[in-house]
Structure 1
Amino acid sequence: MRSTTVTCCASRTSAEVAPSSKAVKQAIHWMLSLRESGNDPALSQQCERWRKAEQEHELAWQRVISLHQDLDLRAIPGAGVALQTLETSQRRLHRRQALKLLSGVALVGTASWLAKDLDSVGTWTSDFATVTGERRSVRLPDGSLLQLNTRSAVDLAFTEQQRMIRLKHGELMLTCSETPYQGRPLLVQTRDALLEGFEGRFVVRQDFDCTRVSVGQGKVALHLPGTGELQWIGSEQDWRVDAFGAQRLEQVDMDAAAWAEGLIVTRDMRLADFLAQVSRYRHGYLGCTEEVADLRLSGVYRLDDPYRLLQLLPQTLPVRLCKHTRWWIRLEPVA
């Protein structure tokens, strides 16, 4: 998993790990053309030459064809329309508009997966962002260290009144500056919570239904949503915050800060939950059958090569990897 460090004033230079939108559009065009032509041999040869011309072409082709085959798009109403919409709309619309249009088609899971693999929309409009499998470090103007995990995006608003970091999606780690800034609180805002850091280091992750906060060192003030009350979070504490309030988590099954070192550290974690975390660092589909979902695992795993990580699981669990492509993997019980 790549890691980069920049200062706040530096421009983004991180290389994309996903194929460009141009290559993906070309792959979609080839797939639609072959389907409409009834797999014409001459057209198939032309597509084959295009795929071999560039490594990026083959990667884009595998993404699109996996999306079409592995999720069985032809059995989902509106799926063909969705791909056609993406292919045609990107000719005349801005990329963000095309993805927004695609998400309106009746393809909840499929559309979100394609949008994810084309990079998050927030990457285009955020002050700092990461793509799949990337970590990034940013030294802020006050000396604080901001670290972003995979698929994360933030906006900064440093003014004379406050120092605000808005977490749009994903996960961050903030190591607060030791320099006192009287009258300018250091804030992290998510969909569910407003957090104020005073010292030390803490992690904030925005999930689809809540915000998770883990304080490694120091203390954080949680401004409770809807009440304005303060909840102090001390060192080695983990909290869950949603629209209904805040709850301290007495037990956690994963080290919240290990990703900063390129690791995932688990403690008696469900296999299904483990795979959900690993899927954040790779492209494509990753899941398991219900028969093995509740298997438990503990250990330290490196995130720099998620596929190799998955290959290790059958050595400790009674599972096997069912792999249609490198981007579609499901764990099943050993027969």
Structure 2
Amino acid sequence: MTDVRPGATAVKQAIQWMLRLRESGHDPALEHECAQWRNVHREHELAWQRVNHLHQDLDLRAIPGAGLALQTLETSQRALRRRQALKLLGGIAMVGTAAWLSKDLDALDDWAADYATGTGERRSFTLPDGSLMQLNTRTAVDLAFNEQRRLIRLKHGELMVTCGQAANPERPLLVQTRNALLEGYEGRFVARQDSDCTRVSVSHGRVAIRKPGDGQLQRIESGEDWRIDAKGAQRLEHVDMDAMAWSEGLIITPGMRLFDFLAQVSRYRHGYLGCSDEIANLRLSGVFRLEDPEQLIQLLPQTLPVRLRQRTRWWVRVEGVA
């Protein structure tokens, strides 16, 4: 497929238009101006469609500073030209909150993906060959299925694939990540793209890793967990989390560090979630439901000697009890 994506400027303008239209309620004149902007250039329309598609996941009204920006914009329009007012909105609502939005706006770069999920969303898809693909939160993939190959490109995030025996043994189901090419045969496996590596876990069946560099195959058997980076592939003897549990909406751990636990929960919510260094190594064990990450965070003081410092619903820091 042709990978056509709107530029950052067009995306920012589309977000600005959506903020203004939401705040105005129903303003025919403003809607007409927005339509004119969309018709000026194909990139504008593409950016608008992408922003509009994602609006339920990324609540633009919830951006810190957006409300103030809109109020300032409304009062400023009487005295400022429209271009100046738009610049003011962009400066307050976007630039001032760039760090806060960084992980949520990663999705803006993947709107052209064939399949994608937003924050906290999990979805299942049946592929053209009958295989089942499940996507975890904040995941985007592209497909390249034809008579010669069956290829899934994992752009970011995490997926689970359940594949049957291929009619042509020379045509395994391939999963391409930044670190390796995985060859899936009959069975089920999970692949997760981290910032510095790819993690692979096999539930049943078998998977082969085509190692970076030498291209040799490393076979992974049922029940094994592996880490793949630029240096090669390494089997993990001990893992602190059930790699398959997310497909059931769960985190299952026999003893995970609090720092790592919060990093996992953070994948299912917007904003910042972290902890102070002195409590980072506290351990949690149990089964935790991901359907309500905010409630899960609120329960932490009942499990560990910690307290929550919460500035807004999007900024939460877990600290030790003094």
Query: Which band: TM-score by shorter chain?
Result: 0.7 to 0.9
2:15 aligns with 21
Find 1:165's aligned residue among 152, 161, 165: 152
1:317 and 1:191 map into 2 onto residues whose CA distance is: 37
1:294 aligns with 281
Find 1:276's aligned residue among 241, 263, 269: 263
Return the offset for 1:61. Answer: 4.3
2:60 aligns with 60
SS at match of 1:281: coil
Return the offset for 1:173. Answer: 0.2
> Does the CA contact (< 8 Å) of 2:166 and 2:185 recur in 1?
no
Q: 1:182 to 1:112 in 2, by over 3 A?
A: farther
Return the offset for 1:185. Answer: 2.1
Find 2:305's aligned residue among 310, 314, 318: 318
1:162 and 1:140 map into 2 onto residues whose CA distance is: 13
Q: Please list the CA deviations of residues 91-133 of structure 1 after superposition, one character each: whole Å capped at 9, or x if unmatched.
A: xxxxxxxx9xx7xxxx9xx635414324612431100000001
1:87 aligns with 90
Return the offset for 1:62. Answer: 3.7
Alignment TM-score, normalising by the size of structure 1:
0.70
2:235 and 2:183 map into 1 onto residues whose CA distance is: 17
Gaps in structure 2 of 5+ consecutive residues? 1-13, 24-55, 69-85
SS at match of 2:299: helix
Figure out how many residues of one structure are paired with residues of the other and give that number: 257
2:199 aligns with 212
Gaps in structure 1 of 5+ consecutive residues? 1-19, 30-55, 69-82, 91-98
1:146 aligns with 133
Alignment TM-score, normalising by the size of structure 2:
0.73
1:331 aligns with 318
2:75 aligns with none
SS at match of 2:156: strand
1:221 and 1:274 map into 2 onto residues whose CA distance is: 29
2:175 aligns with 188
> Does the CA contact (< 8 Å) of 2:16 and 2:89 recur in 1?
no
SS at match of 1:321: strand
Return the offset for 1:24. Answer: 6.9
2:188 and 2:297 map into 1 onto residues whose CA distance is: 30
Q: 1:113 to 1:236 in 2, by over 3 A?
A: farther
Return the offset for 1:179. Answer: 4.6
Percent of matched pairs sharing the same residue: 64
> Does the CA contact (< 8 Å) of 1:189 and 1:195 recur in 2?
yes
